[in-house]
Structure 1
Amino acid sequence: MLDLGNRQSIYQPEQPDLKFPSIPEFETAAEERLYRKQRLVAACRAFAQAGLDYGFAGHLTIRDPERPELYWTNPMAVHFDRVTLSNLILVDHDGRVVEGEHAVNRAGFVLHAAVHEAHPDILAMCHAHTLYGVAFAALGRPLAPISQDACAFFEDHVVIQEEAGAVAVETKAGPKVAAAFKGVKAAIHQNHGLLTASRHSIDAAAFWFIALERCCHQQLMVEATGHKPVLVPPERARYSREHVGSEYIGWLHFQPIYEQLAASQPEMFL
């Protein structure tokens, strides 16, 4: 084990006074709420930028800091690229919109509300119907540790077979999916797609979703060659996960994405 001192990650600089992203501290719940909502909007825009959109499918959520029984989410049938601060909606665990003008995605409510309610420690969650994630989910098996990127998910994701292939519109589907999220940050729902959750931030949940989709793509490409890949040994995979798979690292990875979007799409904060 490396001695990190007061640092959360080996990637944080040891030298003082260097420019480097830092997690903000908030004096009021209102400040933290605005921060979370801004990051949620940016996460939606990041999904659009990465092509992780499919009609109205896809939902991202973050708990309200003052009322944790409520969560903010993107509005139903609004493209990720058109999500703004002003059209976010606040929803309770029963799927009732308590703030905002738009409807909530029924499937998003069924899955996300169940996860948030079953796991009070989970702050944020992401799901979308993506090309490579859905394709890989049809295999009904976990990712293999074929790269350092994939090692971020080693022993930190599950394959969910319950309700596989059934559209999650009935509330009974939610608890079955929620039960799988104990102690992991990601799930591959067989015949459905990818889900990620974070106990840290929407930043981390969003980045790990983007990363998981990328890893599914990579594994499908490798398997398409017909050659058996060389796997990272378990002890090395765990070492890599420790340093490149934490909640903090997910948050850190999202920061350049956020800065790029904030500079190029300032209208998202209206």
Structure 2
Amino acid sequence: MLDSVKRTSVYQPEQLGLRFPEMPDFKSPEEQRLHLKKRLVAACRAFAQQGFDYGFAGHLTVRDPERPHLYWTNPMCVHFAQVRLSNLILVDHEGRVVEGDYAVNRAGFVLHAAVHEAHPDIVSMCHAHTEYGTAFAALGQPLLPISQDAAAFYEDHVVIGDEAGKVAVEVKGGHRVANAFAGVKAAIHQNHGLLTASRHGIESAAFWFIALERCCKQQLLIAASGQTPRLVPPDKARYSREHVGSDYIGWLHFQPIYEHLVATQPDMFT
């Protein structure tokens, strides 16, 4: 008989004593801040590994645990592969850098600050100019539930048509995009690309961005085949989303990515 373990997901082991990632318990805001900043750096490095870089485009943010009106983000004009603890910047909703030596990406500030300000429950957000996500965004269509992985986004993402194709450097444009993020974890911004948000943390936002890019690629591949896919039925798509599409599952998926980066890129935390 298995020992009883309180679980929030079916993926958590029922047996006691097995090695499995556990949510951290912080003793101070300083400890939590360091934890979040390390995961933000790792998320940037993961984006580099995925080939999500495109010049200075792309921005990842996470709220400060003690000052929720401020958020940490990657510095302007620093490659994802070169982001480290020492060059992260802390920014307010007006785009003013309050800690750090680098400038903030104007488009990143406009989009992310608007989302963070409009949705106090959103603690982290990711955006990058990716190959498949950008191509898919040109269609102005939602993802289809073509697979278990795609079902994770079923009824949990939106297509944003406002400001489509217009560079987000005006604050009002950021507010129009932010309005669409109520209650969903991802958005496809027409003629622009992908955005993900998390009420949990940077790990979840980063993993679901990686997953969304993969799903866009897969749907484009199916479209290129000329064949009509068999979709996951709505009831089964919702069932899969509930079990494999949560913020917790996004966090869990990111754990092996983080551990691999820690083992292979020791310069991250310098």
Residues 199 and 247 in structure 2, CA contact (< 8 A), matched pair in contact too: yes
What are the residue-to-residue correspondences of 1:1-270 with 2, within 5 Å?
6-270=6-270
Cα distance between partner residues in 1 of 2:145 and 2:55:
32
Cα distance between partner residues in 2 of 1:183 and 1:255:
24
Cα distance between partner residues in 2 of 1:13 and 1:30:
31
Residues 156 and 185 in structure 2, CA contact (< 8 A), matched pair in contact too: yes
Where 2:171 maps in the other structure, the secondary structure is: coil
Question: Deviation digits for residues 156-201 of structure 1, max 9, x if unmatched?
Answer: 0000000000000111111100000000000000000000000001
Where 1:172 maps in the other structure, the secondary structure is: helix
Cα distance between partner residues in 2 of 1:18 and 1:185:
31
Where 2:205 maps in the other structure, the secondary structure is: helix
Cα distance between partner residues in 2 of 1:6 and 1:173:
44
Cα distance between partner residues in 2 of 1:5 and 1:123:
29
- What TM-score comes out, normalization by structure 1 length? 0.98
- What TM-score comes out, normalization by structure 2 length? 0.98
Which amino acid letter does the alignment assign opposite residue 263 of structure 2? A
Q: Could you tell me how far 1:6 is from its partner in structure 2?
A: 2.4
Which amino acid letter does the alignment assign opposite residue 97 of structure 2? V
Gaps of 5+ in 2: none
Q: Could you tell me how far 1:31 is from its partner in structure 2?
A: 0.1
Question: Deviation digits for residues 83-127 of structure 1, max 9, x if unmatched?
Answer: 000000000000000000000000000000000000000000000
Cα distance between partner residues in 1 of 2:234 and 2:246:
17
Cα distance between partner residues in 2 of 1:267 and 1:256:
18
Residue identity (%): 75
Where 2:255 maps in the other structure, the secondary structure is: helix
Cα distance between partner residues in 2 of 1:6 and 1:198:
24
Where 1:167 maps in the other structure, the secondary structure is: coil
Which amino acid letter does the alignment assign opposite residue 243 of structure 1? H
Question: Deviation digits for residues 116-158 of structure 1, max 9, x if unmatched?
Answer: 0000000000000000000000000100000000000000000
Which amino acid letter does the alignment assign opposite residue 121 of structure 1? D
Which amino acid letter does the alignment assign opposite residue 239 of structure 1? Y
Which amino acid letter does the alignment assign opposite residue 240 of structure 1? S
Moved over 3 A (4+): none
Cα distance between partner residues in 1 of 2:73 and 2:266:
19
Residues 75 and 103 in structure 2, CA contact (< 8 A), matched pair in contact too: yes
Cα distance between partner residues in 2 of 1:6 and 1:57:
42
Question: Deviation digits for residues 28-50 of structure 1, max 9, x if unmatched?
Answer: 00000000000000000000001
Residues 186 and 196 in structure 2, CA contact (< 8 A), matched pair in contact too: yes
Q: Could you tell me how far 1:8 is from its partner in structure 2?
A: 1.2
Cα distance between partner residues in 1 of 2:190 and 2:228:
23
Cα distance between partner residues in 2 of 1:16 and 1:52:
39
RMSD (Å) for aligned C-alpha atoms? 0.8
Q: Could you tell me how far 1:5 is from its partner in structure 2?
A: 7.0
Higher alpha-carbon deviation: 109-118 or 5-14: 5-14
Cα distance between partner residues in 2 of 1:74 and 1:19:
32
